[in-house]
Amino acid sequence: MVKRTQAEPAAGGRPEDERLGIGKSFTYGIQHVLTMYGGIIAPPLIIGGAAGVSTAEIGLLVASCLFIGGLATILQSFGVPFFGSRLPLVQGTSFAGVATMTAIVADGGLPAVFGSVIASALLGLLITPVFSRLVKYFPPVVTGTVITVIGLSLMPVAAQWAMGNNTKSPEFGSVSNIGLAAMTLAIVLLLSKVAVPAISRLSILLSIVVGTVLAAVLGKADFSRVWDGPIFAVPAPFGFGAPTFDVAAIVSMFIVVLVTLTETTADMLAVGEIVGTRVGKRRIGDGLRADMASSAIAPVFNGFMQSAFAQNVGLVAITGVRSRFVVTAGGVILLVLGMLPVLGRVVAAIPYPVLGGAGLVLFGTVAASGIRTLSKVDYNGNMNLVIVAASVGLGMVPIAAPEFYHHFPAWVGTIFHSGISSAALMAVVLNLLFNHLKPGKGSDPSVFATATRVIDYSDLKAFSRLKDGDRIVDGKIVDADGNPVPVRDADGKPVPYRIGSEPEGH
């Protein structure tokens, strides 16, 4: 990894406006591309596989996502009036919409996916001026739940890949396929342990390379058709036909848009803190408009929903390279890679078991990020626990039972067949119900509000479970917010404890 010990601020300007020169900018830009490369090629592989398209067509999807990712990155980091945050933010195909688009492609094919992305992104573009007022309805309890379900919903894809992806193949689920996936997974874990940061941070990408070489040695990789087709070409507009527009698909994708806007806002605020620059409402608005404009244009060039890549925000913090022009250089590199369809065909020829082994970690990282967000949520004396429980539960239904909504109208299936849409809808509605609609909410609204905090009678004698702010009111223990804290005996039964009197039988 290229490490920069000190960055000179731009003279008389913002730190992100520093110019390092063409050579250094492209050197650091390559590092950004390598950091996000595994993440940007996974969505077209998943969606293309679900659509049942050929290897060459998957190669086109990969090249198109690289191409539009480059355009989106340049727009976000370099910026034009009203579009672009002018921050070191890398853009690429969003993971948030993968499961939803996979559900849409099963019914309407790729044209329906492209149509839903265009329409939902345009709706997102319309609400960007007022989105800052909506952010409060997407607190960590909502975003953490959705991100967790995104990762969990992709696990069946990783398992399918590890088995070989083609259910009609006699090798599907064979020991050799799963063994190759396991070896790739082992390589990811070993490389992650290496003390060299450049290797550990690129462990997923390097494991795919090593796993593919191993597959070729075992005769399980076929690159014979890589050279079938042009080496250099600009992605043709609407290469899979004209987009189609289905209302249910658009509604489903619009939910993803709300999640994407929330994630991008968080990334802009995070990178602003890292760089040491002010990120106000106007800058956030410009960044979100760039996000939605690039997402609306992406399907024209056979691409999907765009969003900021959080791993690259982390890279800015690690390297200390704050210049947005470095990220612009990375966008140019992505743009060039997207005009090399031969590279897309190479990626499309990677054996699915190799992708499955790496995908277990890649998709698991997404779920782990959501869990990390949920760990920051306050569950004490509120209904946040039941919000997470019900939302994750509903989100897992279509994953555990894919035919759950088959007897419902088509529009219901399109919206709720995606675990992400189901979880997002439930989390938003329950958050509004329990955390924003105050009338009718008592001091102890549900058993779930106190489920995470119970004091045993034996512990009470030693006062080992009391917290700051706990006090005695009318002989009973209440917390800092005035909510009663239940006391239970060794068998878990409630004890009608009052200070100054011993419960019967003790």
From first to last of its 506 residues, the chain has per-residue pLDDT tens of: 444 444 444 545 788 888 888 888 888 888 788 777 777 888 998 899 888 888 888 889 989 999 999 999 999 999 999 999 999 999 999 887 888 898 899 888 999 999 999 999 999 999 988 886 776 777 888 878 887 887 788 788 888 889 987 788 888 889 999 999 999 999 989 988 887 776 776 777 788 889 989 998 988 888 877 787 788 888 889 999 999 999 989 998 998 898 888 778 878 877 887 788 888 888 889 999 999 999 999 999 999 999 888 777 767 876 678 899 999 999 999 999 899 888 778 877 888 898 888 888 877 877 887 888 898 888 888 889 999 999 999 989 988 888 888 888 877 776 777 777 788 888 988 999 998 886 555 555 555 555 555 555 454 444 555 666 666 666 677 776 677 777 665 555 666 655 544 444 44
Tell me the helices (H) and strands (E) count for the chain, helix number first. 18, 6
Which pLDDT value is given to residue 439?
57
Alpha helices in 242-375 (DSSP H): 247-275, 281-297, 310-319, 324-338, 341-348, 352-374
- Which contiguous run of DSSP H or E holds residue 62? helix 55-77
DSSP conformational letter for 350: S
Identify any residues that bridge with 456 across adjacent strands, giving them in sequence order. 488
How far apart (Å, rounded) are the C-alpha atoms in residues 104 and 98?
A: 10
DSSP conformational letter for 455: E
Q: How many other CB atoms sit within 10 Å of the CB of residue 479?
A: 18
Question: Could you tell me the CA-to-CA distances from 30 to 12, 302, 332 in Å, in that order?
Answer: 28, 24, 10
Which pLDDT value is given to residue 4?
45
How far apart (Å, rounded) are the C-alpha atoms in residues 374 and 151?
A: 14
If you search the block for the tokens 């959080």, which residue do you land on? 310
Give the CA angle between residues 392, 394, 396 to the nearest 5°: 65
If you search the block for the tokens 């004890």, which residue do you land on? 495
**What six digits make up the tokens of 370?**
């959501």
Which pLDDT value is given to residue 343?
79
How far apart (Å, rounded) are the C-alpha atoms in residues 237 and 212?
A: 31
The alpha carbon torsion through 249, 250, 252, 256 (nearest 10 deg) reads: 130
Which pLDDT value is given to residue 2?
46
- pTM of the shown model: 0.69
